């Protein structure tokens, strides 16, 4: 074989190797995205306990009131599945490498026109075991679905547009790493959230009890307390003593342009 033919053969061989390796990489990426997935938004029970199981109750959208402190940002507990096969074997002293440790969430928030309102990455935690047989393994992780800066922007937009609510979609990509060192991530998961302004309940008491000076007095402390609510996807009730002003004055301040 002459030099020209040998050179051509080498180039063809290199092309075959690149093509083959590219196919393997594409296959690995596709496998990674299907191996780790977000199943649903879990609802804590009345005692604020969360069971990380696909049989638990779930929500299809959330509502948050940006007018009160409980709605200055918004988080949700997500159920995450791992479809990787188990690789550990005690008979041959082989450790399990298919467990996935979650470490970050990429979040994008889009309004009802598809325009991006916020984008950020936040740390998360949780280890998702591999499944058994055909069933995935599951665990939960809490994700900041709307951060404070984005909530401020949405609140300002509602005030400027004299709107009582705005619909957004929070999309999440979870990132993890197997105990074997392989990087994993979920496909983008979308979740609708209705952000409102003053749509939840607020309890007023006597003016002196809603002020900063009187809220701690014995008479005001003896009033029925508003029990803290679990973050269950719907706005809770606010007590004027938490605001150090009356509910109406607080809402008036919120709605006033900065």
Most confident among 38-47, 76-85, 87-96, 187-196 (mean pLDDT): 187-196
Query: Residue 230's domain spans which residues?
Result: 202-255
10 pLDDT above the threshold of 60: no
**What does the pLDDT read at residue 217?**
72
The lowest-confidence range among 56-65, 127-136, 169-178, 194-203 is 127-136
Position 28 in a domain? no
200 pLDDT above the threshold of 60: yes
Which residues pair with residue 184 across a beta bridge?
A: 176
Digit-coded pLDDT (tens) for 71-107: 899 999 999 999 987 654 444 445 568 899 999 999 9
User: Pick from 109, 152, 143: which is nearest to 258 by CA?
Assistant: 152
**What does the pLDDT read at residue 227?**
61
Residues 115 and 187 in one domain: yes
Largest CA distance in the chain: 102
CATH number at residue 181: 2.60.40
Sign, CA torsion 143/232/42/167: negative
Compute the distance between CA of residue 182 and CA of residue 8 in angstroms, rounded to an integer. Answer: 36
Residues 209 and 182 in one domain: no
**What does the pLDDT read at residue 258?**
63
Digit-coded pLDDT (tens) for 107-149: 999 998 999 999 999 999 999 999 877 789 999 999 999 999 9
Residues 80 and 115 in one domain: yes
Compute how many other C-beta atoms are within 10 angstroms of the C-beta atom of residue 185.
Answer: 19
Q: What is the mean pLDDT of the chain?
A: 82
Compute the distance between CA of residue 21 and CA of residue 156 in angstroms, rounded to an integer. Answer: 50
**What does the pLDDT read at residue 239?**
87
Digit-coded pLDDT (tens) for 145-179: 999 999 999 999 999 999 999 999 999 999 999 98
Interval 19-47 mean pLDDT = 65
**What does the pLDDT read at residue 93?**
45
Residues in Cβ contact with 66 at an 8 Å cutoff, skipping those fewer than 6 apart: 72, 151, 154, 155, 158, 195, 196, 197
The answer to whether residues 143 and 78 touch, using CB atoms and an 8 Å cutoff, is: yes
Which residues pair with residue 140 across a beta bridge?
A: 79
Give the number of domains in the chain: 2
**What does the pLDDT read at residue 208?**
83
The answer to whether residues 86 and 130 touch, using CB atoms and an 8 Å cutoff, is: yes
Position 13 in a domain? no
35 pLDDT above the threshold of 70: yes
Which pTM value belongs to this model?
A: 0.80
Residues 73 and 112 in one domain: yes
Residues 43 and 132 in one domain: yes
- CA distance readout (Å), 162 to 86, 165, 251: 55, 9, 13
Q: Domain boundary residue among 163, 181, 196?
A: 196
39 pLDDT above the threshold of 90: yes
Q: Which residue has the higher pLDDT, 60 or 224?
A: 60
Pairing label, strands 238-239, 127-128: unpaired
Position 1 in a domain? no
Q: How confident is the model at residue 206 (pLDDT cuts 50, 70, 90)?
A: confident
**What does the pLDDT read at residue 166?**
96
């Amino acid at each position: 074989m002459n030099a020209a033919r040998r050179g051509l053969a080498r180039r063809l061989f290199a092309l075959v190797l690149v093509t083959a390796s590219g196919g393997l990489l594409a296959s690995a990426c596709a496998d990674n995205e299907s191996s780790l997935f977000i199943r649903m938004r879990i609802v804590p029970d009345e005692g604020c306990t969360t069971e990380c199981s696909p049989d638990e109750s779930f929500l299809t959208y959330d509502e948050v009131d940006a007018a009160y402190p409980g709605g200055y940002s918004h988080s949700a507990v997500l159920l995450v599945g791992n479809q990787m096969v188990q690789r550990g074997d005690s008979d041959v002293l082989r450790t399990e490498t298919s467990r996935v440790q979650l470490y970050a969430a990429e979040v994008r928030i889009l309004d009802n026109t598809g325009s991006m309102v916020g984008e950020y990455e936040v740390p998360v935690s949780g280890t998702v075991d591999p499944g058994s047989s055909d069933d995935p393994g599951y665990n939960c992780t809490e994700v900041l679905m709307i951060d404070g800066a984005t909530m401020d922007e949405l609140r300002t937009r509602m005030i400027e547009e004299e709107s009582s609510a705005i619909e957004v979609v929070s999309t999440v990509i979870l990132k993890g790493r197997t105990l074997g060192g392989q990087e994993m991530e979920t496909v983008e998961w979308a979740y609708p959230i209705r952000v409102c302004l003053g749509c939840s309940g607020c309890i007023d008491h006597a003016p002196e009890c809603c002020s900063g000076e009187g809220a701690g007095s014995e008479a005001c402390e003896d009033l029925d307390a508003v029990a803290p609510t679990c973050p269950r996807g719907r706005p809770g009730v606010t007590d004027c003593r938490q605001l150090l002003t009356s509910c109406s004055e607080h809402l008036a301040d919120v709605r006033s342009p900065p």
